C-alpha cells in the first residue's frame, strides 16, 4: 500500500448528521493527510461480514444535507455477541478476533466508530483487544457521558418542536388534552428542551416520576381559567411515581433489547376516565430521526470529523471526541462506555421550565 488508511462505521440508530461526518472524515483525510478511508457498511455488521468500500472524494460530495447514512447502520450488530444460526438453533458467538484480523489486514491506523453509548461500549472493548479506535458522539437522545451535546440532537429537537407547534392549534380548536410522545430512552433532554421551546403546559421526563393527579390538576386549572386545552410532552421513558417505564416491545437479537414507548396512551386513558376530558396522542417516533440536518448538526458533525482526523494524525487513540465548553476535546473512551448522561435535577433547564409555569408532573 502506498497510503495510510483509516476506517469508519456508523453504528446504532440513524440520525441527521451522519453523512456530514462521513463527508468530513473523508475530505479531511484526503485533503490534509493524504489518507484513504475505508467505509464499513451497516455499522459493526460490515466489520463482521467483511463488507466495506474505499470512500472517495466524489462519493461524499453532495451528501452534507442528506439525512441517514450512505454506509448504512445497524443497532443489532455486536462483534462480541454475533448471532448465528446452526442446525435450526440460534446462538451468540464472539467474532471480535476475526474483526481485529480484518483491521490488521487492511492496515488501518484507526477505526472511527460513530454512534451512541452502545457503539462506544463496543469500541472500548475493541480498544482493549488492541484496535486503535476513535469515537464520535451521535444520538438524538443527547445521553452520552462527557459531552455537552451530540450531533443529531438539534435536528430531532427542531422536528419535535415544530410538531408540537402544529398540534397546539388543533388542541386549542377542539378543547382537548394533546399528548405528544418523543424519544430519548432513559434521558429527558429531548422532551424537556422541545417542550420548553414549544410552550408545553406539562413536560414528563424519566428523571422526575409523574403523578397523574398533578397532570389532571393542571388540566382542570387551565380549564377554570378559560384555557380549555393542554399540551403534554411525554418522554418515552417517563414513569409514574412508584411505577415502571412502559415497554413497547423486546428485540431479543439487539444489544439493547428494550424498546420503550406507549406511555402517552396510558396517561391519556387515565385522564379521560377520571375527568371526561377528551385526549389525543401523537407519537412522533422515527420522524425525529430523519430528514435534512439542521445547520448546527452539520457544523457539529463536521467539527467532530476534523477533530477525529487530527487525533488519528497525533496517534491519540482510544478517545471519543467530545464537545465541552464550546470546544472539541478528546476524552478517554472508557469514561464514556456503559454510562448515560441524564438530566440532573438541579439543571437550569428544569428551573427554567418551572419558572415559566411548565409543570413537570
> Would you please indicate which residues are annotated as catalytic (active-site) residues?
141
Run of H or E residues at 120 = helix 117-128
Where does residue 314 rank: exposed (0-12), middle (13-18), buried (19+ CB within 10 A)? exposed
Kindly state the cell numbers that stand for 83.
448471532
| φ/ψ (deg, to 5) at 279 | -125, 155
The one-character DSSP state at 291 is S
**Residues contacting residue 299 through CB under 8 Å, at least 6 positions apart:** none
Nearest CA among 160, 128, 168 for reference residue 141: 160
Terminal-to-terminal C-alpha distance of the chain = 61
Q: Please check whether residue 40 is in contact with residue 144, taking contact to mean a CB–CB distance below 8 angstroms.
A: no
Beta bridge partners of 193: none
CA distance 223 to 229: 7
- Long-range pairs, 329-334, Cβ under 8 A, ≥24: 331/146, 331/147, 333/120, 333/123, 333/124, 333/127, 333/133, 333/135, 334/124
Task: Let me know how long the chain is.
Answer: 361
CA distance 53 to 270: 53
CA distance 110 to 124: 13
Amino acid at each position: 500500500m502506498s497510503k495510510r488508511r483509516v476506517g469508519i462505521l456508523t453504528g446504532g440508530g440513524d440520525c441527521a448528521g451522519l453523512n456530514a461526518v462521513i463527508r468530513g472524515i473523508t475530505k479531511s483525510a484526503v485533503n490534509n493527510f493524504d489518507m484513504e478511508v475505508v467505509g464499513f457498511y451497516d455499522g459493526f455488521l460490515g466489520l463482521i461480514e467483511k463488507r466495506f468500500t474505499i470512500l472517495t472524494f466524489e462519493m461524499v460530495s453532495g451528501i452534507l444535507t442528506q439525512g441517514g447514512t450512505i454506509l448504512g447502520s445497524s443497532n443489532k450488530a455486536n462483534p462480541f455477541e454475533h448471532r448465528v444460526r446452526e442446525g435450526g438453533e440460534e446462538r451468540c458467538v464472539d467474532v471480535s478476533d476475526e474483526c481485529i484480523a480484518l483491521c490488521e489486514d487492511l492496515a488501518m491506523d484507526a477505526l472511527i466508530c460513530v454512534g451512541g453509548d452502545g457503539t462506544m461500549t463496543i469500541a472500548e472493548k475493541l480498544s482493549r483487544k488492541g484496535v486503535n479506535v476513535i469515537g464520535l458522539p451521535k444520538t438524538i437522545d443527547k445521553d452520552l457521558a462527557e459531552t455537552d451535546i451530540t450531533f443529531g440532537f438539534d435536528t430531532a429537537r427542531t422536528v419535535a418542536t415544530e410538531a408540537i407547534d402544529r398540534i397546539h392549534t388543533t388542541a386549542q380548536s377542539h378543547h382537548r388534552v394533546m399528548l405528544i410522545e418523543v424519544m430519548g430512552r432513559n434521558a429527558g433532554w429531548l422532551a424537556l428542551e422541545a417542550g420548553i421551546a414549544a410552550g408545553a403546559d406539562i413536560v414528563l421526563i424519566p428523571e422526575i416520576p409523574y403523578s397523574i393527579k398533578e397532570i389532571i390538576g393542571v388540566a382542570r386549572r387551565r380549564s377554570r381559567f378559560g384555557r380549555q386545552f393542554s399540551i403534554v410532552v411525554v418522554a418515552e421513558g417517563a414513569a409514574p411515581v412508584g411505577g415502571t417505564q412502559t415497554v413497547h416491545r423486546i428485540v431479543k437479537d439487539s444489544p439493547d433489547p428494550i424498546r420503550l414507548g406507549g406511555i402517552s396512551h396510558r396517561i391519556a386513558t387515565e385522564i379521560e376516565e377520571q375527568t371526561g376530558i377528551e385526549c389525543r396522542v401523537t407519537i412522533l417516533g422515527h420522524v425525529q430521526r430523519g430528514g435534512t440536518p439542521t445547520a448546527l448538526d452539520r457544523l457539529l458533525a463536521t467539527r467532530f470529523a476534523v477533530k477525529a482526523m487530527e487525533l488519528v494524525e497525533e496517534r491519540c487513540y482510544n478517545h471519543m471526541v467530545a464537545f465541552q465548553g464550546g470546544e472539541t476535546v478528546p476524552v478517554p473512551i472508557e469514561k464514556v462506555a456503559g454510562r448515560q448522561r441524564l438530566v440532573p435535577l438541579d439543571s437550569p433547564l428544569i428551573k427554567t421550565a418551572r419558572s415559566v409555569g411548565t409543570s413537570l408532573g
